[in-house]
Structure 1
Amino acid sequence: MTRRTRVGALAAVVALVMASGCGGDDDGGDKTPIIGQPGKTVHIATAFDQPGFNLFARHHNRGFDMDIAFYLGEELGFTPKFQDVTHAGRERELQDGSADMVIATYSITPKRQQKVDFIGPYLMTSQGFLVRRDYNGIKKEKDIGGKTLCTVEGTTPARVRMPPSTVVNEVPDYSTCVSKLQGGGVDAVFSDEALLFGYVEQQKKSKVPLKVVPNVTMGLINRYGIGIPKGHRDDCKRLLKALRKYLVEEWSSDIKAQLPALVETYSGDWENRFKPDPQDLNTYSSCRV
């Protein structure tokens, strides 16, 4: 049985819960367009310290989230302008108007859909463990007991219930977690598997290389979406159409380019594990087309 089949029943239940708390097609009149006329600058909040998804270095943004933003900009005629955001501050950026859009490994959840609208998913991922390459203390889920983990505040992994003997440190960003891991301050970093593979690639030539423990996960499947302020129905539909096209045309090649460690670890199965079905967008998005 495939992973997508195993989570199919859960997806249907979650979709019903989400639909009750999101801005759907029956909302009132649409607000001032986010995208607007061709050439408009759209302010996109993203995390600048996530290799593989977005790493800001040498005055340049590079990563899978950036690939999506540039693709949407080309398809819909807007110019992305990026700004850094903490994981805990993503809803606030949209609600107070500081950002027009969030593309920042932003998992779609019913609680978040009460505050913002989502388009997606553009990636689905289990939650796993990043460890030092020479560390073999975690081979099964039961090995998590008694370990010291690091995760980031305001993220879905921070809400996963761990064994009582496990110590979980919450910090503002993943770079801090990775530093703690390489320095021996924690046994593992706990977060979305896909996100962790970016650090494997970034640190492969460092003095303390890293690895993701394969096939050891906890919590639910996370689905990354594009966040926008509530009430922008027309923008939501335009983004949804463009994102569905992206999944068919560019998704696989961009993952290969930005997250090669993910592809290598799950060779032969990585698309089934991480790529959403384009039809899933109508299940989890705050609008439908």
Structure 2
Amino acid sequence: MTNEPRHPRPLRPLRSLGHRCARVAAAALLLALAGCGWTADGADGKTVLTGTVYIGGKNDQPGFNLHSGHTDRGFEPDLAAYLGKRIGFAPKWHDVVSAKREQELVDKASTLVIATYSITPQRDKQVDFVGPYFVTRQGFLVREDYDGIRTEKDVAGKVICTVEGSTSAIAALPGGATLQTQSDYSTCVRKLQQGDIHAVFTDEALLYGYVEQQKNSRKPLKVVPDVSFGYINRYGIGLREDLPGDCDKLREALRDYISEEWASDVKAQLPALVAAYPGDWENRFRPDPQDVDTYSSCKP
């Protein structure tokens, strides 16, 4: 056995060192990119639909959303729960008024807005949409014992309430109609039941939520049949504009939701709407899954 030292083999240590340096450099690059908002998810690498996702919604729209600190009830919480399970996030609701929905997303106060939020060209200039998940005409809510509005012409001379920032607030009502705007529909409904106004004007689907809510009250309500003005509204999920990967995830999940669970959720949450159009409510209010590709900001 000799005491002569072995000759080192320099190539192996240098190669290992090179590999380690490469791995360290790659990790540092990933960390740097993550710090700039980049992750390894999607074509553009950016995603916010993970963990707790804050959603701006309404807390006073029976049938669609009555979220509170302890419970989430309505069609839109059902929709958000489906999307969260499908994509991998936990919905967390907080309140948003109609007039502040775009700003809610631009300021990043909410990750998503799911608040009977109609897709319009003007709004689409500021935010992105995925939808529609509901289609509805606009109509009039009146007291059940009131017959002063039976045709479109009868709206003239009436005092009508709607919500600031809604599509109904810019609809062309007949001449002589007085339009009042409030911050929320609950205020309009309260004024209606107090006799301060003649009707509430907004999306027909929303109005049936209040019909159901007030059916056992001292002053029940009804939707005027076959009287409508304004736009056909298509409700979309709002998100900010720099998230094409998340937009695609929502679009694909929403298409499946409309085919799989939409009808059962409407039956559970909006029974007055279903009862108003027996045999025809899906044709009137359910979007075709293909419409999601047509109207969403991100295209397949």
Q: Give TM class, smaller chain.
A: 0.7 to 0.9
Query: C-alpha distance in 1, partners of 2:96/2:201?
Result: 20
Q: Which amino acid aligns with 1:121?
A: P
Output one character per residue of 1:101-158: Cα deviation in whole Å (capped at 9) or x when no partner.
0000000000000000000000000000000011111111111111110000000000
Pick one of 41, 53, 73 that aligns with 2:84.
73
1: CA distance, partners of 2:275 / 2:252: 30
Q: Normalized against structure 2, the TM-score is what? A: 0.84
SS in structure 1 at match of 2:160: strand
Residue in structure 2 matched with residue 142 of structure 1 by the alignment:
153
What does 1:224-239 align with in structure 2 at a 5 Å threshold? Answer: 224-239=235-250
Structure number with larger C-alpha Rg: 2
Distance 1:261 1:58 in 2: 26
Q: Kindly report which structure 2 residues correspond to 1:156-235, keeping only aligned pairs within 5 A, or say none.
A: 156-235=167-246
Instruction: Give the direction of change, closer, same or farther, for the CA distance of 1:131–1:35 in structure 2 (3 Å limit).
Output: same
Deviations 1:184-218 (A, max 9, x none): 00000000000111101111111100011122110
* Structure 1 residue ranges, 4+ long, deviating more than 6 angstroms after superposition: none
> How far is 1:164 from its partner?
2.1
User: Which residue number corresponds to residue 33 of structure 1?
Assistant: 47
- Contact persistence 2:193–2:219 (CA under 8 A): yes
- 2: CA distance between counterparts of 1:244 and 1:214? 31
**Per the alignment, in what secondary structure is the counterpart of residue 135 of structure 2?**
strand
* Aligned CA-pair RMSD: 1.1
Query: Whole-Å Cα distance in 1 between the matches of residues 89 and 225 of structure 2?
Result: 39
- Say which SS state the counterpart of residue 279 (structure 1) adopts: helix
TM-score between both structures, scaled by the size of structure 1: 0.87
The amino acid that maps onto 1:80 is: P
Q: Shift of the alpha carbon at 1:58?
A: 7.0
For 1:261, the aligned partner's letter is: A
Gaps of 5+ in 1: 1-28
Matched, 1:52 2:63: yes
Which ranges in structure 2 are unaligned for 5 or more consecutive residues? 1-42
In the alignment, the residues of structure 2 paired with residue 229 and residue 154 of structure 1 have an alpha-carbon distance, to the nearest angstrom, of: 18
Give the % identical residues.
59
Query: 1 or 2 for the larger relative contact order (CA 8 Å, sep ≥6)?
Result: 1
Is the counterpart of residue 110 in structure 1 residue 121 in structure 2?
yes
- Tell me whether 1:257 sits opposite 2:252 in the alignment: no
Aligned partner (choices 243, 261, 285) of residue 274 of structure 1: 285
Structure 2 CA distance for aligned equivalents of residues 58 and 201 of structure 1: 23
The structure carrying a bigger strand percent of its residues is: 1
How many residue pairs match? The answer is 258
Distance 1:144 1:110 in 2: 28
Give the aligned residue type for 1:97: K
